[in-house]
Chains A and B, each alone.
Chain A
Amino acid sequence: MARMINLRIWRGDAKDGALQDVQVEANEGEVVLDVIHRVQATQMGDLAVRWNCKAGKCGSCSMEINGKPRLACMTQVASYGDEETITVTPLRAFPVIKDLVTDVSFNYKKAMEIPAYAHPDELAPGQARMEQVDVERSQEFRKCIECFLCQDTCHVIRDHEENKKSFAGPRFFIRIAELDMHPLDKLKNRKRTAQEEHGLGMCNITKCCTEVCPEHIRITDNAIIPMKERVVDIKYDPARWLGSKIRRREGI
């Protein structure tokens, strides 16, 4: 059954902008992206919104709905009360381009700073063999759809623009963890660079990244904290450091 809902949409660009109220029809089962499209089709023809798959798998329609970073295509209108106004804004951690579209290129720059998987020299392509039990930890992190909601909610950069140059963010900590836990990756310095170049130490594990992840990746428990512990192994644990020097078993 269709009903009218109150929507507040932020409209503007980098120079200025404001929230604009609009009433729009919402049908049963629709998501917030549906009603934004209806507003675009009927009332605001120039409303800018980024979207693609409408199935929670492309990560394009990331925005903030009633202040929470969410995918608009996975947020049911029915999850809000009949009289409740749904406020929709662009991601507040990134520069705005127009309306609900932000410039997320920061994330692609950070992605380029992380060395790719390094294949062992002694294994020719096609010769690599790995057991499932050795790769399943990393597979959880491969579920990432790069919606950057975790980056958006992380207060290290959301609340401190100046930290962007030295902090990669949770999305890239799971990338580093994925590679450091990879059974065949030959790069040995990922822990050290995670701490010294990508800003792992700036994370104070308040778990907001985990809370907003639409893929339910346990970013903090399964990637960031294990990486922090691995950093402790090489930087803050004299016993482990001595053991690794004597037995030379860093990559066990």
Chain B
Amino acid sequence: MSGVFSPTRAKIKERTLRTDKWWLQPAITFGVLFSFVIYATFRAFENKYYFTEPLISPFYSPCLSTSCEPGSALSFFGQPFNNKYFGIGISPALFILIFPLGFRMTCYYYRKAYYRAFWMSPPACAVAEPHTKYTGETRAPLILQNSHRWFFYAGLIFNVILTWDTILAFRDQDKQWGHMSVGTLVFLFSTTMLWFYSLSCHTCRHTLGGRLKHFSKHPVRYKAWTIVSVLNHKHPTFAWISLFGVASADIYVRAVASGAISNFYFF
């Protein structure tokens, strides 16, 4: 017997004596994250309905495969990947999704969320976890959580690309500039939230100034650190909103590309 049932501890048979709905938050987190994972997996393998001029789904951008729909690839990156490897067709999304996925998987906030909701380690505060052993993030595979900053850097590059996609969304189907549609707004919202999510990240806070020992010798970095610290308070909020933002952008592009709806232009 270990943990709260150890021989020296108070003899209480219940795993927790909490009387509030401690299970509700992890249950909601599980439901939402699991739904997103299912949807994202489906979309990553679907390999269609991801582009309709001038909108490209954030799940497929940048499109780097030779199988990308005409007009969807950015000339800056080219199309370095084939559409098949070892005779197996590969969706363009699979070449890139590891980066945004890795950023969220190793994010300090999401770690809290899924350790509680999926791994129940612990399911909630002062609620005994079901595991008999625990080594935390000291061994493989969880020691890889320390790679978060590399995914953060990659995430910044993706933010730049998605920002460019949003700028392109100010064109119409004939690539003429100076137009705005519902898709433009959806992309603006999604990209803005992604920037807030990235800039409020703990690694961003550390990189900009957190690692310093003497703020007084680095006033600019200190100022940047204080701004990011304010954003950092809202990091969980930005994490959820940006997740919904990306999903919304993809759902919208899919709906337009599949012909279910048309992209309404304001001007």
Q: Please indicate whether A and B come from the same complex rather than being unrelated chains.
A: yes
What sequence of 0s and 1s flags, for each residue 52-87 of chain A, a beta carbon within 8 Å of any chain B beta carbon? 000000000000101111000000000000001001
Determine, out of A20-28, A36-44, A151-159, the stretch whose residues face the partner at the interface: A151-159
Question: Can you list 10 A-B contacts (CB < 8 A)?
Answer: A64-B126, A94-B9, A134-B214, A152-B126, A159-B3, A183-B214, A202-B136, A204-B142, A212-B125, A221-B233
CA distance A152 to B8 in the complex (A): 14
CB pair B137 A201 closer than 8 Å: yes
Interface flag for B17 (CB, 8 Å): yes
Q: A12-B10, A252-B217 are in contact. List 7 more A-B contacts (CB 8 A).
A: A66-B19, A67-B126, A69-B125, A69-B126, A90-B10, A134-B213, A153-B126
Q: B200 to nearest A CB, angstroms?
A: 11
Q: A202-B134, A202-B137 are in contact. Are A12 and B232 (CB under 8 A)?
A: no
- Interface SS of chain A: helix, strand, loop or mixed? mixed
Query: A159-B3, A204-B121 are known contacts. Are A68 and B138 too (CB-CB below 8 A)?
Result: no
A91 nearest CB across to chain B (Å) = 8
CB of B112 within 8 Å of the partner chain:
yes
A206 near B135: Cβ-Cβ < 8 Å: no
How many chain B residues have a CB neighbour from A under 8 Å?
56
**Which A residues lie at the B interface, using CB under 8 A?**
10, 12, 14, 16-19, 64, 66-69, 84, 87, 89-90, 92-96, 102, 131, 133-134, 152-153, 155-156, 158-163, 181-183, 199, 201-208, 211-212, 221, 225-226, 228-233, 235-237, 251-252
What chain A residues lie within 8 Å of B99 (beta carbons)?
A: none
Determine whether the beta carbon of B138 is less than 8 Å from that of A202: yes
A94 to B3, CA, bound (A): 10
Chain B residues contacting A64 (CB-CB under 8 Å) are 17, 126
Chain A residue numbers with a CB within 8 Å of B7 are 14
Is A66 a contact partner of B18 (Cβ separation < 8 A)?
yes
Tell which of A12, A158, A212 has the most Cβ of chain B within 10 Å.
A158
How many angstroms between the C-alpha atoms of A148 and B91 in the bound complex? 52
Assess whether B211 is in contact with A252, with CB atoms less than 8 Å apart.
yes
Given A134-B216, A229-B203, A163 and B134 touching (CB < 8 A)? yes
On whether A18 and B11 interact (CB within 8 A), knowing A156-B136, A229-B203, the answer reads: yes
Contacts of B148 in A (CB 8 A): 232
Contacts of B133 in A (CB 8 A): 160
